[in-house]
Amino acid sequence: MKYTGITYRPPFEADSLLLQVTQGCSHNRCSFCTMYRDIPFQIERMEQIEQDIREAGQFLPHARRVFLVNGDAFVLSAHDLAHIAQLIRSHLPAVDTIAMYASVRNIQGKTDDELKQLRALGVNDLNIGLESGLESVLIHMNKGYSAGQALHELQRLDRAGMSYGVNVILGAAGAKHFREHAEATADLLNKTKVSLIFTGTVHADPGCPLFEEMQNGSFEESTFEEYLLEEEILLKRLTLEGCLIFGLHPSNVVPLRGYLCKDKEKMLLEIQKRRRQLGERLHTHPIRCEEGAIIQP
Ligand code: SF4
């Protein structure tokens, strides 16, 4: 296995050294996701990982940050992650952060002591596809955990001193349930120390169950106005100090970036401004292209 298939990374990891430790996603069953649908999950051989780290040490000796790919690299055992972190520290001594995608299920597989040990070795800034704090959405999206389990695992990361960001999918509850979705998601996140909330809106490509539901009408997508209302409710309800709202994914109705709570009013004004711009089109549905990007009217 050698860097085949698609590699995804969060936009804020653009300057990180990407190191492949897995391929695909160990869950690969979320109802809206086709990212790794045709890529069987595999773990890279440790010999290969070590060789790649040695090579990176020769060509990028001053690298400060590593992002382990692919879909949920935190699925590796704590033992293997610790070994990789130690190799990175020895061949890339300037690296201070080893980040990666992680799922709630991946955290469940590690003890409190293991989380603390990994944090001490530089593992930090996990990017977690939480998507929602509403139970019915987590079930419908087939995330494989409940809201209570998600909260429990995020709080374990908090206690281990490990920083993380979460992805939230606006509109994931469907058009009629945007209010309860925003409220439940804000309420869950307010009980954590999440440092970054990455927002996007719901979209699905052919090949996943949600796409079929959107096509046959059993899942009703939000209108522009419902997306804006949901984001407004979410922002107003969030009380997390210092948390970065990163809403620059092109699937968003309005691009937003700011820190809670100091930039909250500014972001709410941006939503109002977008509402005025949309005018009569507020009650229509977005038209999308690649990766759910909204073709802005
Ligand atoms: S959303 Fe994340 S956890 Fe779910 S199938 Fe896709 S990559 Fe895997």
pLDDT tens readout for residues 4-29? 678 899 999 999 999 999 999 999 99
Tell me if 53 CB under 6 Å of ligand 1: no
**Residue 6 alpha carbon to ligand 1 centre in Å:** 14
DSSP string, 39-62: S--EE--HHHHHHHHHHHHHH-TT
Tell me if 198 CB under 6 Å of ligand 1: no
Q: Examine residue 96 and state whether it is found in any structural domain, yes or no.
A: yes
Q: What percent of the chain has pLDDT over 90?
A: 96
- Report the mean per-residue pLDDT for the chain: 96
pLDDT at 3: 67
Tell me if 35 CB under 6 Å of ligand 1: yes
| pLDDT one-digit tens code per residue, 175-198 | 999 999 999 999 999 999 999 999
Q: Examine residue 291 and state whether it is found in any structural domain, yes or no.
A: no
pTM here? 0.96
Tell me if 98 CB under 6 Å of ligand 1: no
What CATH number does residue 105 fall under? Answer: 3.20.20.70
| pLDDT one-digit tens code per residue, 105-139 | 999 999 999 999 999 999 999 999 999 999 999 99
Q: Examine residue 294 and state whether it is found in any structural domain, yes or no.
A: no
Residue 296 has pLDDT above 90, yes or no: no
Q: What percent of the chain has pLDDT over 70?
A: 99
**Residue 111 alpha carbon to ligand 1 centre in Å:** 23
- Is the pLDDT higher at 290 or at 219? 219
Q: Examine residue 68 and state whether it is found in any structural domain, yes or no.
A: yes
Are 63 and 15 spatial neighbours (Cβ–Cβ below 8 Å)? no
Tell me if 129 CB under 6 Å of ligand 1: yes
Substitution site in 25, 39, 127 for ligand 1 pocket (most atoms within 8 Å of beta carbon):
25
- Among 136, 131, 182, 172, CA closest to 154: 131
Residue 277 has pLDDT above 80, yes or no: yes
Q: Examine residue 289 and state whether it is found in any structural domain, yes or no.
A: no
Substitution site in 35, 70, 130 for ligand 1 pocket (most atoms within 8 Å of beta carbon):
35
Tell me if 133 CB under 6 Å of ligand 1: no
Residue 162 has pLDDT above 90, yes or no: yes
Range of 193's domain? Answer: 11-278
* Nearest-angstrom CA–CA distance, 194 and 240: 8
Measured by CA distance, the residue closest to atom 5 of ligand 1 is: 28
Substitution site in 36, 38, 167 for ligand 1 pocket (most atoms within 8 Å of beta carbon):
36
Measured by CA distance, the residue closest to atom 7 of ligand 1 is: 71
Average pLDDT of span 63-86: 98
**Residue 262 alpha carbon to ligand 1 centre in Å:** 32
pLDDT at 297: 77
Q: Examine residue 293 and state whether it is found in any structural domain, yes or no.
A: no
- Among 234, 230, 235, 285, CA closest to 260: 235
Helix (H) and strand (E) counts in the chain: 10, 10
**Residue 29 alpha carbon to ligand 1 centre in Å:** 7
> How far, in Å, are 14, 231, 234, 282 from residue 277 at the CA level?
31, 17, 21, 9
| pLDDT one-digit tens code per residue, 228-251 | 999 999 999 999 999 999 999 999
- Within the chain, strands assigned E span 17-20, 22-23, 42-43, 65-69, 97-102, 123-131, 164-170, 196-201, 244-247, 256-259
Tell me if 222 CB under 6 Å of ligand 1: no
Q: Examine residue 147 and state whether it is found in any structural domain, yes or no.
A: yes
Q: For residue 99, which phi and psi values (nearest 5 degrees)?
A: -105, 170
Structure tokens at 13: 């990891």
DSSP 4: -
Measured by CA distance, the residue closest to atom 6 of ligand 1 is: 33
Residue 89 has pLDDT above 90, yes or no: yes
Q: Examine residue 57 and state whether it is found in any structural domain, yes or no.
A: yes
**Residue 77 alpha carbon to ligand 1 centre in Å:** 19
Substitution site in 32, 70, 72 for ligand 1 pocket (most atoms within 8 Å of beta carbon):
72
Number of domains making up the chain: 1
Beta bridge partners of 127: 101, 165
Burial class of residue 137, CB neighbours in 10 A (0-12, 13-18, 19+):
buried
